[in-house]
Chains A and B, each alone.
Chain A
Amino acid sequence: MSIRVENINKKFGDFVALDNISLELPEGQLTALLGPSGSGKTTLLRIIAGLEQPDSGSIAFYGKDQTDQHVSERGVGFVFQHYALFKHMTVYENVAYGLTVKPRKERPSKAEIHKKVMSLLELVQLDWTANRYPNQLSGGQRQRIALARALAVEPKVLLLDEPFGALDAKVRAELRRWLRKLHDEIHVTSVFVTHDQEEALEVSDRIVVMNQGRIEQEGTPDEVYEQPATPFVYGFLGSVNLFHGRFEQHQIVVGADAIEHRDEALIHGTDVFAFARPNELEIITDVDATNGILATVTQVLAYGPQPRVELEGVNEIGQPQHFQVALPPESIKGLALQIGQRVRLVPSRLKVFERDSSAVVAGDKTT
């Protein structure tokens, strides 16, 4: 294990930023710390880097304790959300900085530094910007320079704090693919913080989902998406339709309606949350059917990148509940739905969590 985090606690005043976090990050992998703002992900990253001191707990890199090691001696590469390039230095000087500030004994020769800087600038495909100043570059270019600068000192671990957060959507998608490709080439153990589940799913080898200073789940993107361990993870990793109900024999009863559901592990009479992704719901136009939740069509979007039907139903206690069904455009047209039409929703797949009072659900409404 290249990074080991043990029992880390951190408070800011009364606010608990990290609540006894323990984590092991495998060597050479790209791990995403995913969570909403205030979940403690950035604090954890900064503690790993040594930019923040934990109240208790320890950090080790490759079996060597780093808890009391100063940030300048940890050998981490850190990439900031807002680049943090040195404004008064050229791109070349920025990338060379980590090498030129080394003590004289360890410092490479000028020629070596030049070779290294130019090869890094080629790696990030910006060798032509060497003599420019950061304010002459675009956001995406600046972030690539920041990455080259962090890599120049050959860090043991590379830490990225919302690296694409300040970029516009198109550049972000491009840089995301590029980071994945770069990581496949250089294989440095990397951790990046993001609140964007799509980004985490697309780029990382592993995802650590955080919420309120605790780890909700960790695993491969496939694991956390397909087998979410908690309602929070399910809700945070994509759009959801939520049914509050009670498990009774072979069905989940939601108010006056019911959905068929077989689960040997569930006890009769348990209160549950049942989740279905928008693509896991079917629309049945036969209102008299016994299986399915009654809902009213509010909007039909049979075009655009995400064709879908928006509906409104009621939950168990009679409050309005929003639903979203993703369907191919042909199917939507085939159903010939009218606004205001009553239909039934039948899940093709359902994820059921026992409901206890402490359960937190992210994205209680479809997002």
Chain B
Amino acid sequence: MSTVTNASALPLDRSGLWRRATEEPQWVRRTLIGTTLVFLSMFLILPLVVVLYGAFEQGLKVWFAAINEPDAAASIRLTLLVVAIVVPINVVFGVAVAWAIAKFEFRGKTILISMIDMPFAISPVVVGLIFVILFGSQGWLGNWLSAHDLRIIYAVPGIIIVIAFGTLPFIARELIPLMQQQGKQEEEASLTLGASGWKTFWYVTLPNIKWGLLYGVILCNARAMGEFGAVAVVSGRIRGETNTMPLHIEVLYNEYMFTAAFAVSSLLTGLALVTIAIKSFIEWHENRNRVTA
């Protein structure tokens, strides 16, 4: 009998002195949260502050001058051009691949899925070299290209190709699980109701994947703007012509033009921050949808 009374009395005693069974001790929680915060401040927030401080140290006027300097302006224009071409290419490719993988059964499907991840696994410098070997003047297609007066390496097409290659997985990776999870019943329903394949895609598939697609586009966009290694190999680093923003920043830095380097960096960082803000908004939106669904 005594055990029974003890047991019933225990929870009362515990409430004040004991932690709950499912919680970690206070010191573990504090250490973990503290470490995270210190780490984040040192490796993320501090550099960000340094970039912005460096960029605006000598005032807005100098910042504008650095941005408007012809080579810098050319690198910004080139970066935006590349993004404007690469992102649509990857949208089409990503949707096509995700569609094929999620809705069809075919041989070699698992191989295709792992191949999509290849650009993540291969070092960007190697990617650049691969395309130099393919399209460079000494490369496999070099003679044919020069005979037709086509320039790919050390020109804008080369930059577009390597960036498209490097950012290829983002949209496909985002859409494949989404489309697999949604299955093909809604599409089948649409087809039985007399809709053509195109109308089914437009009215049923696209609305169902639009947030995932946008998320993928943003990731792809961020990576396309920041891509360095592969571009450095294929672009030839011609100032004002084939330098994208990251390459131009390096050039400025190497020439001890720190303020200009920081100014262009701040612009690139700003674009990245906007991207993250949009991404967070989309995540928030998706979560909200999931809760109401």
Q: Is the CB of B193 within 8 A of A97?
A: yes
Which one of B130-138, B194-202, B271-279 is at the A interface?
A: B194-202
Give complex CA distance A72, B208 in Å.
21
Which one of A83-91, A118-126, A196-204, A218-226 is at the B interface?
A: A83-91
Q: Least Cβ distance of A13 to chain B in Å? A: 10
The reply on B189 being an interface residue by CB < 8 A is yes
Q: Is the CB of B192 within 8 A of A101?
A: no
The reply on B283 being an interface residue by CB < 8 A is no
Q: Is the CB of A87 within 8 A of B192?
A: no
The reply on B269 being an interface residue by CB < 8 A is no
The reply on A1 being an interface residue by CB < 8 A is no
Q: Is the CB of B207 within 8 A of A97?
A: no
Give complex CA distance A75, B199 in Å.
17
If A86-B186, A87-B293, A88-B208 touch, whether A71 touches B203 (CB-CB below 8 Å) is no
Give complex CA distance A72, B194 in Å.
4
Contact residues, A57-82 vs B (CB, 8 A): 70-78, 80, 82
The reply on A98 being an interface residue by CB < 8 A is yes
The reply on B6 being an interface residue by CB < 8 A is no
Question: Counting chain B CB atoms within 10 Å of each CB, which of A70, A74, A84, A102 scores highest?
Answer: A84
Q: Is the CB of B192 within 8 A of A76?
A: yes
Contact residues, B42-63 vs A (CB, 8 A): none
Give complex CA distance A146, B190 in Å.
11
Contacts of A70 in B (CB 8 A): 191
If A86-B204, A88-B207, A88-B208 touch, whether A72 touches B292 (CB-CB below 8 Å) is no
Give complex CA distance A74, B193 in Å.
9
The reply on A49 being an interface residue by CB < 8 A is yes
Q: Is the CB of A51 within 8 A of B194?
A: no
Q: Which residue of B lies closest to A94 (CB)?
A: B189
Q: Least Cβ distance of B196 to chain A in Å? A: 6
Q: Which residue of B lies closest to A152 (CB)?
A: B193
Q: Least Cβ distance of B144 to chain A in Å? A: 42
Q: Which residue of B lies closest to A12 (CB)?
A: B105
The reply on B188 being an interface residue by CB < 8 A is yes
Q: Is the CB of A72 within 8 A of B196?
A: yes
The reply on A149 being an interface residue by CB < 8 A is yes
Residue from the list A72, A86, A88, A135 in contact with B192, Cβ < 8 A: A72
- Cβ contacts B225-246/A at 8 Å (1 or 0 each): 0000000000000000000000
Contacts of A73 in B (CB 8 A): 194
Q: Is the CB of A101 within 8 A of B199?
A: yes
Contacts of A84 in B (CB 8 A): 185-186, 188-189
The reply on A150 being an interface residue by CB < 8 A is yes
The reply on A113 being an interface residue by CB < 8 A is no
The reply on A153 being an interface residue by CB < 8 A is yes
Q: Is the CB of A135 within 8 A of B196?
A: no
Q: Is the CB of B194 within 8 A of A98?
A: yes
Contacts of A50 in B (CB 8 A): 192
Residue from the list A85, A87, A102 in contact with B194, Cβ < 8 A: A102
Contacts of A74 in B (CB 8 A): 192
If A88-B207, A135-B292, A135-B293 touch, whether A71 touches B185 (CB-CB below 8 Å) is no
If A84-B186, A87-B293, A135-B293 touch, whether A101 touches B203 (CB-CB below 8 Å) is yes
Q: Least Cβ distance of B172 to chain A in Å? A: 22
Q: Is the CB of B194 within 8 A of A101?
A: yes
Give complex CA distance A86, B191 in Å.
12
Give complex CA distance A14, B176 in Å.
28
Q: Is the CB of B188 within 8 A of A51?
A: yes
Contact residues, B179-221 vs A (CB, 8 A): 185-186, 188-197, 199, 203-204, 207-208
Contacts of A101 in B (CB 8 A): 190, 193-196, 199, 203
Q: Is the CB of A153 within 8 A of B194?
A: yes
Q: Which residue of B lies closest to A136 (CB)?
A: B292
Q: Is the CB of B208 within 8 A of A87?
A: yes
Contacts of B204 in A (CB 8 A): 86
Give complex CA distance A75, B192 in Å.
7
Contacts of A87 in B (CB 8 A): 186, 208, 293
Residue from the list A75, A86, A102, A135 in contact with B189, Cβ < 8 A: A86
Give complex CA distance A49, B189 in Å.
11
Q: Which residue of A lies closest to B186 (CB)?
A: A84
Q: Is the CB of B195 within 8 A of A78?
A: no
Give complex CA distance A74, B195 in Å.
11
If A88-B207, A101-B199 touch, whether A78 touches B186 (CB-CB below 8 Å) is no
15 pairs, A vs B, C-beta closer than 8 Å: A70-B191, A72-B192, A75-B194, A76-B192, A78-B189, A80-B185, A85-B186, A86-B189, A86-B207, A101-B193, A102-B194, A146-B189, A149-B189, A150-B193, A153-B193
Point out residues on B near A: beta carbons under 8 Å.
185-186, 188-197, 199, 203-204, 207-208, 292-293
Point out residues on A near B: beta carbons under 8 Å.
49-51, 70-78, 80, 82, 84-88, 97-98, 101-102, 135, 146, 149-150, 152-153
Instruction: Other than A51-B192, A101-B196, give 18 A-B pairs with Cβ distance below 8 A.
Output: A51-B188, A72-B192, A73-B194, A74-B192, A78-B188, A78-B192, A80-B188, A85-B186, A85-B189, A87-B208, A88-B207, A97-B190, A97-B195, A98-B194, A98-B195, A101-B193, A101-B194, A149-B189
